[in-house]
Amino acid sequence: MYSHGDPIVSSLNVHKNLDPLTLLFVLAVTGLIVLIVIVRGMRVVLREDHIGGGIRLFSFFVVCGALHIIAWLAAPYFYIPTRYFMFSLPFLVTLIFPWSIYTLLGRVSRLQLQPTLRDAVFLGIVAVYLAAFGGRGNVDLSAASVEEKPSQRLFDKIARLPKDVVIAGWPVGALRKVEYVTRRNAFLTGDLHQVLHLTFMKVMRNRMDALFEAYLSTDAAPIYRLRQEFRVTHLLVDARDFTDPKHTPEYFAPWRTRILPRLQEIKGKEYLLSQKLYERAAVFNQNGLILLDLAKLP
């Protein structure tokens, strides 16, 4: 019931034309109807199934549930457990829901005698559903692209560094794409910082605390700590984090509430905006992105 891109029919799309409260009610009612149709349709399929297709379909969701439990018990080694259910739900709506509709229409006596009419009714129901909830899928993926033009030269530079380097930077900035694009190690990224395992969480929290102090510092001491204690070799700085009020660093709690007070506290004294630092340690400096070689710190 949630689609991507522009609506197929804007004038009929519920997401475009209903206020939030009414939309929530419509989605809840529609979701209930979809669930009822699927349950009734699958009951018919399972009763009339002679080749085991329904059993295999049911087994698909049993396996998804088993994988969820295994991933939960073995976290974080199988990443996010809920994904095993999240990836099966689209299959439920896009395939099983229309299959159930068509199956139930086949039990209507009048439509049993007129297959063409049954097909027309089925297509009409699907058309109404798509008009109300469907999207064209024309999503602008430029923001999610891992090769944005302002960052491409930076990625090229990092990719030429030795394979044992460790790159630190603000976790939800350009750094989150470094591992995928350059095949080089990132100290901490927002994608990696998942609260799934106690020991893992403690390690990530220690890293984020150290990074927070180094990134929003007024002297070199926290950066030296990154190099000496955590073996970070390079630090990626986005100057807009300090100079553009619309581009302040963001992160989740408990660091979220600390960011703005720290920025105000260090305003005018930001160590990572030091031109002398750039002249000595920067190995890349373009488009507001600066890569510092911590071995060259003053």
For residues 215 and 269, state if they share a domain: yes
Domain contains 142: no
Q: Tell me the residue length of the chain.
A: 298
Query: In terms of domains, do 18 and 61 share one?
Result: yes
Do residues 59 and 94 share a domain? Answer: yes
Residues 111 and 152 in one domain: no
Question: What integer pLDDT is reported at residue 154 of this predicted model?
Answer: 92
- The pTM is what? 0.61
Domain stop point among 99, 133, 167:
133
CATH, residue 279? 3.40.50
Both 18 and 104 in a single domain? yes
The amino acid occupying position 147 is E
Segments forming the whole domain that contains residue 230: 147-296
Let me know whether 197 and 155 are in one domain. Answer: yes
Q: Are residues 171 and 270 in the same domain?
A: yes
102 and 171 fall within a common domain: no
Tell me whether residue 161 is in a domain.
yes
Number of compact structural domains in the chain: 2
Of 74, 102, 133, at which residue does a domain stop? 133
Q: Which of 87, 102, 133 is the last residue of a domain?
A: 133
Asked if residue 81 belongs to a domain, the reply is: yes
Query: What percent of the chain stands above pLDDT 70?
Result: 90
Query: Does 168 share its domain with 279?
Result: yes
Q: Is 281 a domain residue?
A: yes
The mean pLDDT value for 126-147 works out to 69
Residue 52: predicted pLDDT: 72
Sequence-distant (≥ 6) Cβ neighbours of residue 84 within 8 angstroms: 64, 65, 67, 68, 71
Identify whether 7 is part of a domain: no
Instruction: Report residue 87 as tokens.
Output: 């990836």
Same domain, residue pair 54 and 174:
no
Residue 36 lies in a domain: yes
The answer to whether residues 94 and 34 belong to one domain is yes
* The pLDDT value given to residue 6: 81
Kindly state the average pLDDT of the residues 120-143: 79
Q: Please check whether residues 156 and 292 belong to one and the same domain.
A: yes
What are the tens digits of pLDDT across the range 173-231? 888 889 888 999 999 998 888 776 778 889 999 999 999 999 999 999 999 999 999 99
Residue 258 has pLDDT above 50, yes or no: yes
| Per-residue model confidence (pLDDT) at position 141 | 46
Could you tell me if residue 1 is inside a domain?
A: no
